Amino acid sequence: MTDSQKSDETVVVANEEAVEATGNNGSGAPAPEENAPAHEAAPANDATPANGAAQAEEASPAAGEVREETAAEPASPVAPRPTPSAAPSPAAFAARPKAPAAVVPAAPAVSAASLAEAAKWGRAEGDGHVFLTLDGEEIAVGQYPGVSADEALGYFARKFDDVIAQVVLLEHRVESKAPATDMQKTVTHLREQLSERNMVGDIRAAEARLDALSTQIVELEKSEKAAHEAVRANELAAREAIVAEAETIAGQDPAQIQWKTSSARMNELFETWKAAQKSGVRLGRSNEDALWKRFRSARTVFDRHRRAYFSQLDSNNSAAKSAKEALIAEAEALSTSTDWGFAAGEYRRLMDQWKTTPRASRKDDDALWGRFRAAQDVFFSNRQVANDQIDQEYTANLAVKEQLVAEAQALLPINDLNAAKKALQSIRDRWEDAGKVPRADMGRIEAGLRKVEDAVREAEEEKWRRSNPETKARTNSALSQLESAIAGLKEDLEKAEKAGDQRRIKAAREALEARQAWLDQIQRSASDLA
């Protein structure tokens, strides 16, 4: 073995011993020891303070060189790990590139204020042991060797600050009324961290803050529960309203219900129910099942009534169609009749029956009415054509009757009743001989002659009233009675005036004036009868 080979073998042995001495972190400083459970790990930033690493490197520069080489060894893609049977050659070591020295992260700096606050509740010894003062007693919380006392104390103070930061965050959440879910679990977890006694700080103040938080969280949970119950009550009322309205719709009389409107509303209620069930507050299985059964029952009843109604409507529609088709058959049979009077009467009878026949559906009823009206139009059109032909034949008769009407109206006013009656009788005889006139002029011509006939009849009645013996006798008797009464009242008035009795004078004058007015009216009537 040459001297160079012995040197290479010495380097390999030194590398393996350095790796075993430094452990996994590759630094020369030992990790801090804490009175904590085995599963809890220190933060990455706090595990290896920068000052401790620097002291380890200064105390053992050769170890630094070893950490540098061993750190570069896994990165080599061409140099396999040597096995016990085949040791690497010096040429292999010479071919490996050196990796840069590992950078150890610096520990967070601890402010003087933080150290001053931590010093109130704990202390650190020169060997890195840190103690907590709690209720007048010192409790060992852990050790951070290889660093200064301030750094060791600051490390355990930062652990307490982390807990306080979580407490502050939880206080903000409670103050802002955030959802209280898992808040109590957070309080319990923070209590457990404080109870492990692996940090330095005002433990009792932190526990007091957690006690206050626990009470506030209970109140917040009560408030949330009350709000949830209120929302749930509103949702229950809304669902109840949906069910109640559906039951009201289903309970209507099928003969009176507006099916189009009610069906649309029932569909809207169903969509509202689905939306509430999908995105609304849960009401509990029992409540939701009970409400759904009622709602489903109402919809089932409504659908059953609707099917029954429209089935009956179809039956009624068929019966109405059959009845109206029978009327149409009769109307169509009469449409070619030339017995104008009889056929017109039959059409009036058919129209009356049509009005009393139940309606079919709107579409069917409109079509049936069109057929019925068409049959009527055929008949009345034929009759109009026939009437027009007759009217042409009666045009000459119209001229004769217009002349007779003019002759009759010349008798007005009636001065000589006997002469007027004789002339009117002559006009009537010639009227009958003239024959019929066009239908359009019939009313006008008849009215002209009727006016003269009415005037003659009134003159006859007036003459009879004046010459009636019974009327004259009644008038004379009334005159005699009034004259006798007036004479008696005059005597009573004279006696009252002589006696100076004003009350009797007033009464006698009023009675005398009334009787005198009646006498004047009867006398005028008697003169009319003379």
User: Whose structure tokens read 């009797």?
Assistant: 504
Element (H, E) at 422: helix 417-434
Helix (H, G, I), strand (E, B) or coil at 521: helix
Residues 6+ positions from 278 with CB-CB distance below 8 Å: none
- 8 A C-beta contact, residue 106 and residue 133: no
User: Whose structure tokens read 């750190």?
Assistant: 71
| Nearest alpha carbon to residue 209 among 249, 165, 158 | 165
**What is the rounded CA–CA span in Å between residue 265 and residue 249?**
9
**What is the rounded CA–CA span in Å between residue 129 and residue 140?**
7
**What is the rounded CA–CA span in Å between residue 351 and residue 357?**
10
User: Positive or negative, the Cα torsion across 464, 469, 472, 477?
Assistant: negative
| Nearest alpha carbon to residue 518 among 493, 484, 473 | 484
The secondary structure of residue 35, as a DSSP letter, is S
Domain boundaries of the chain, sorted by first residue = 3-95, 112-223, 314-393, 395-467, 469-529
| Nearest alpha carbon to residue 35 among 121, 113, 138 | 138
Tokens of 17: 């011993």
Helix (H, G, I), strand (E, B) or coil at 322: helix
Residues in the chain: 530
What pLDDT is stored for residue 142 in this prediction?
92
User: Whose structure tokens read 């009573």?
Assistant: 492
Q: What are phi and psi of 237, to 5 degrees?
A: -65, -40
pLDDT block averages, 10 residues each, the chain of length 530 = 41 35 40 48 38 36 32 36 43 46 48 82 91 92 90 91 94 89 91 92 92 91 84 85 90 85 90 83 80 90 88 84 88 85 88 86 86 88 81 78 85 82 85 82 85 85 69 65 79 81 82 80 64
What pLDDT is stored for residue 398 in this prediction?
80
What pLDDT is stored for residue 27 in this prediction?
39
What residue type is assigned to position 65 of the chain? E
Burial class of residue 33, CB neighbours in 10 A (0-12, 13-18, 19+): middle
Element (H, E) at 55: helix 50-59
Per-residue H/E/C for 438-502: CHHHHHHHHHHHHHHHHHHHHHHHHHHHHHCHHHHHHHHHHHHHHHHHHHHHHHHHHHHHHHCCH
The secondary structure of residue 122, as a DSSP letter, is E
What pLDDT is stored for residue 171 in this prediction?
92
The CA–CA distances, whole Å, from 523 to 134, 465, 468, 515 equal 141, 16, 16, 12
**What is the rounded CA–CA span in Å between residue 237 and residue 280?**
12
* Alpha-helical segments (H) within 251-284: 259-279
**What is the rounded CA–CA span in Å between residue 283 and residue 232?**
6
- 8 A C-beta contact, residue 189 and residue 210: no
What pLDDT is stored for residue 280 in this prediction?
73
Tokens of 81: 């790990």
